[in-house]
């Protein structure tokens, strides 16, 4: 994969938090005359490439849509391969994350995931808990509607138990009950393979995110494509409902 310089992009215009819907693994493999699983394996290499570049550029966070709660409907053989690939990836990349000061988080429900995947995910979170660089979040068995339902249930239980006044429920409280609590909301959502939909990903968190869709399939996605997405983002005027643009490129309407 070709790597290009990012010197033309002012660092102040990089997104704080990049969210990525990684699409096109199967189509890439089929175009190469390979089975779909070959596309997933190549896509895992792109994950490493993009993650390391984002860490090098100083982003605060990157969140990758790895396996949705709807993906369980795929053929059993493919699902089993994806779970095995995830386990393998968590093992092989753990020391690299520590080396590059990357903190790991898993988003999504634990229930339904294989025990060995959960064990390796937990091990990555523990190994990187003291890292204070970029946060890498892997959305695994994740669905945004389920996340919001879980947050609502948690708040309702506290209200029913008298631990909080329902009148005190606000946007900040809901945000604090989501999987992404403590992270800035994504300000750039990138989707590959030309698909024009959100696919139940971070519905609450991307309320003010800029969208960039590229026709490039995820396994073929290169550093130059990432830089192009950042260039597109830097050229956007972000008003957040105001007449004049925000004075800060990284401004978030939910920031204090």
> Which amino acids are annotated catalytic?
23, 71
Torsion of CA 115, 69, 146, 88, to 10 degrees: 40
Contact criterion met (CB below 8 Å) for 77 and 35: no
Contact criterion met (CB below 8 Å) for 29 and 36: yes
183 DSSP assignment? S
Q: Record the tokens describing residue 142, joined without a space.
A: 């994740």
First CA to last CA distance, the chain: 41
E-strand ranges in 108-222 read: 135-142, 188-191, 210-213
E-strand ranges in 16-134 read: 17-21, 61-68, 103-107
What distances in angstroms separate CA 94 from CA 49, 105, 122, 124, 236, one per listed residue? Answer: 15, 12, 11, 6, 35
């Amino acid at each position: 994969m070709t790597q290009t310089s990012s010197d033309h992009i002012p660092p102040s215009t990089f997104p704080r938090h990049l969210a990525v819907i990684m699409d096109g693994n199967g189509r890439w493999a089929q175009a190469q005359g390979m089975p779909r699983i070959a596309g997933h394996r190549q896509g895992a290499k792109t994950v490493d490439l993009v993650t390391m570049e984002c860490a090098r550029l100083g982003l605060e966070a990157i969140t990758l849509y790895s396996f949705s709660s709807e993906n369980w409907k795929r053929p059993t053989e493919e699902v089993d391969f994806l779970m095995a690939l995830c386990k393998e990836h968590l093992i092989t990349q753990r020391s690299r994350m520590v080396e590059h000061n990357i903190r790991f988080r898993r988003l999504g429900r634990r229930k339904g995931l294989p025990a060995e995947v959960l064990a390796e995910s937990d091990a990555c979170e523990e190994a990187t808990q003291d890292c204070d660089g970029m946060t890498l979040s892997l959305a695994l068995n994740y669905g945004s509607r389920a996340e919001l339902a879980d947050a609502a249930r948690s708040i309702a239980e506290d209200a029913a138990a008298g631990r909080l006044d329902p009148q005190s429920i606000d946007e900040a409280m809901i945000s604090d009950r989501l999987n992404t609590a403590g992270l800035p909301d994504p300000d750039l959502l990138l989707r590959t393979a030309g698909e024009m939909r959100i696919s139940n990903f971070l519905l609450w968190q991307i309320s003010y995110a800029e969208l960039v869709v590229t026709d490039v399939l995820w396994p073929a996605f290169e550093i130059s494509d990432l830089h192009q997405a950042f260039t597109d983002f830097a050229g956007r005027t972000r008003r957040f409902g105001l007449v004049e643009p925000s004075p800060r490129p990284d401004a978030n309407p939910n920031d204090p």
